[in-house]
């Protein structure tokens, strides 16, 4: 990290570079940073960072410390939970319909027959007939449960903390539960979510982790829950909720498998700052991987945690190289982006060669759509070019996502990709990289919290292995993209496949697509006789479709290929 002296105080170079949002004077009294929630003033926050920075040895770029919490954070901090990460143990399907044989809190028969009066007891010396109270905890790294209230014999109402330095962002959860009775059905209800819709309404289920199952059966995170709903909140009188805001409620019922066990519940597979440090440490301790890897601290988060910059390249080469920039975990709840980054780094630092092509990709999670897909930019709209150049740009900006879909047809959905720049997205990484640095291959890759629905007979949840595989596919696609751009024959074949897919999309949108597949472009290097037979076969296919649009499409293929 570069630094420069301002008066007698040492100021991080990257803070000086933030000219649009930060001005630093000799006394640091004119500091202006975008507003956020917190008890520290901007000056105090900056002074605290400078104090820590001055204590850092000058030749050390990497701080092996953290995780840190904001200074105003109150409460006991517990050890970071350690979860078993296991390989693929079978696919967990998405919920289709309802669980017909699942018991509910109303239908179950238990030994706890005491009538629940709705009062909140602080102490009762005679607990006969009352089910033991679940014990909740989230004062550990990544935990975000604010409050849990028991509202009925088997029902609990939960309130989440907002993301740090925000006032309203709540859409994920991660907490611990103990004192559960096996076989009893419990109802959990999170009442302060903010998005209007969720994948929980489309087959997604919560995640559960059992410490006992991990120790005795080598079992990791599993999907759980039934009678799942995501609806608008109503009838809640929680004093923690802000008036005038429309909240939504996630409700599910579930059973805990073991007695005297510790269970964790999560929206997505957790990946903490501690996990990140350990994974980077393993990377740097590897004799082979460390030869092409450098780890630095680019900046600090507001809580004081290091934001790492990992460079993978051939450091012995003096040839000027083009860069691939991958960012991840912009939003704290999108932990699948961290798993994708882990898979990406493991691939490109391994024995396979890395691609040398300019590309930027920001890894995210998506809470309302299935599968994996990308957002790109409409580059031709900014250039004001000729119609031919616009057509070339149209194909070019879709070529890399198309390669992703070809390499991962069971997870990546090309039809879900969008290529436009909405006003509300102008500050996102992909748009900034295009507008300011003119990186045309600038994308946001979104991975669902749920799973894949591309195979109608196998609609299933994603797991950590799936997310890591998508990181590997991203690296492989970058390498293949370089090969395609360098080989005219491969480039032509890839563009024809992309064009055929887009044509089918357009015809389907206009209601002019028959169930018979469109003709493929002729294979290369066919003899005249075989080419004639191929054309006769494709004509037979098209004869099954009566729409004249099919013939225009066929003729366009003939013109392109002939």
Mapping DSSP onto H, E and C, the string for 276-307 reads HHHHHHHHHHCCCHHHHEEEEEEEECCCCCEE
User: Contact 68/77 with Cβ under 8 angstroms?
Assistant: no
Q: Report strand pairing: 293-300 vs 306-312.
A: antiparallel
H or E segment and range at residue 147: strand 145-150
CB atoms within 10 A of CB 103: 17
Nearest by Cα to 352 from 485, 466, 478: 478
User: Contact 12/5 with Cβ under 8 angstroms?
Assistant: no
How far apart, in whole angstroms, are the C-alpha atoms of residue 115 and residue 121? 13
How far apart, in whole angstroms, are the C-alpha atoms of residue 249 and residue 159? 10
Our answer to whether residue 346 is catalytic in this structure is no
Q: Which of 141, 157, 251, 446 is catalytic?
A: 446
Instruction: Mention every residue, 6+ apart, whose C-beta is less than 8 A from residue 409.
Output: 454
Token output for 356: 């040398």
How far apart, in whole angstroms, are the C-alpha atoms of residue 328 and residue 335? 9
Rg (CA), the chain: 27
User: Contact 12/49 with Cβ under 8 angstroms?
Assistant: yes
Q: DSSP state, 390?
A: H
How far apart, in whole angstroms, are the C-alpha atoms of residue 96 and residue 204? 10
How far apart, in whole angstroms, are the C-alpha atoms of residue 403 and residue 400? 5
Instruction: Mention every residue, 6+ apart, whose C-beta is less than 8 A from residue 160.
Output: 144, 145, 146, 170, 172, 173, 190, 192, 193
Mapping DSSP onto H, E and C, the string for 18-71 reads CCCCCCCCCCCCCCCCCCCCCCCCHHHHHHHHHHHHHHCCCCCCCCCCCCCCCC
The residues with which 460 forms a beta bridge, in sequence order, are 93, 452
How far apart, in whole angstroms, are the C-alpha atoms of residue 104 and residue 116? 16
Burial of 112 (0-12, 13-18, 19+ CB in 10 A): middle
Q: DSSP state, 424?
A: G
CB atoms within 10 A of CB 530: 12
How far apart, in whole angstroms, are the C-alpha atoms of residue 507 and residue 514? 9
Q: DSSP state, 412?
A: B
The residues with which 12 forms a beta bridge, in sequence order, are 3
- Helix-helix angle 548-561:528-543, to 10 degrees: 160
Q: Catalytic residue numbers? A: 446
């Amino acid at each position: 990290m570069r630094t420069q002296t301002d008066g007698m105080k040492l100021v991080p170079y990257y803070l000086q570079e933030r000219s649009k949002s930060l001005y630093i004077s000799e006394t640091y009294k004119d500091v202006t940073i975008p507003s956020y929630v917190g008890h520290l003033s901007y000056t105090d926050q900056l002074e605290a960072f400078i104090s820590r920075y001055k204590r850092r040895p000058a030749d050390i770029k990497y701080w092996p410390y953290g995780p840190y919490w904001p200074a105003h954070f109150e409460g006991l901090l517990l050890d970071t939970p350690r979860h078993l990460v296991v390989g693929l143990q079978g696919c967990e399907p998405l919920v289709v319909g309802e669980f017909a044989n699942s018991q509910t809190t109303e239908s179950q028969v238990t030994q706890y027959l005491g009538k629940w009066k709705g009062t909140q007891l602080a102490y009762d010396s005679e607990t006969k007939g009352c089910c033991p109270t679940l014990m909740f905890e989230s004062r550990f790294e990544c935990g975000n449960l604010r409050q849990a209230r028991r509202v009925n014999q088997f029902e609990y109402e939960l309130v989440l903390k907002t993301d740090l330095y925000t006032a309203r962002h709540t859409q994920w959860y991660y907490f611990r539960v103990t004192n559960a009775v096996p076989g009893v059905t419990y109802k959990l209800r999170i009442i302060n979510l903010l998005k209007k819709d969720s994948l929980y309404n489309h087959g997604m289920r919560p995640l559960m982790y059992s410490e006992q199952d991990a120790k005795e059966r080598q079992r990791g995170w599993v999907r759980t829950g039934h009678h799942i709903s995501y609806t608008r909140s109503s009838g809640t009188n929680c004093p923690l909720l802000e008036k005038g805001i429309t909240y939504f409620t996630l409700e599910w019922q579930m059973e805990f498998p073991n007695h005297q066990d510790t269970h964790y519940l999560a929206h997505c597979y957790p990946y903490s700052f501690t996990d990140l440090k350990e994974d980077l440490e393993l990377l740097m301790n590897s004799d082979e991987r460390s030869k092409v890897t450098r780890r630095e601290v680019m900046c600090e988060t507001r809580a004081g945690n290091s934001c790492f910059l990992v460079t993978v390249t051939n450091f012995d080469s003096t040839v000027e190289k083009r860069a691939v920039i991958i960012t991840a975990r912009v939003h704290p709840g999108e932990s699948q982006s961290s798993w994708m980054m882990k898979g990406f780094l493991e691939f490109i630092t391994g024995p396979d060669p890395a691609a040398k092509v300019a590309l930027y990709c920001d890894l995210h999670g998506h809470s309302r759509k299935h599968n994996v897909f990308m957002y790109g930019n409409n580059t031709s709209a900014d250039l004001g070019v000729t119609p031919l150049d616009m057509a070339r740009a149209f194909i070019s900006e879709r070529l890399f996502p198309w390669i992703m879909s070809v390499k991962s047809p069971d997870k990546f959905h090309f039809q879900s990709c969008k290529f436009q720049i909405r006003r509300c997205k102008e500050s996102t990484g992909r748009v900034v990289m295009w507008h300011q640095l003119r990186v045309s291959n600038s994308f946001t890759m979104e991975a669902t919290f749920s799973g894949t629905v591309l195979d109608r007979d196998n609609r299933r949840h994603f797991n950590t292995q799936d997310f890591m595989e998508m990181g590997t596919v991203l690296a492989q696609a970058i390498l293949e993209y370089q090969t395609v751009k360098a080989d005219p024959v491969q480039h032509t074949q890839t563009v024809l496949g992309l064009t055929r897919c887009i044509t089918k999309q357009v015809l389907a949108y206009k209601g002019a697509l028959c169930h018979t597949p469109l003709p493929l472009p002729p294979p290369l290097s066919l003899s005249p006789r075989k080419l004639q037979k191929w054309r006769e076969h494709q004509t037979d296919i098209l004869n099954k479709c009566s729409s004249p649009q099919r013939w225009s499409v066929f003729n366009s293929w003939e013109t392109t290929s002939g």
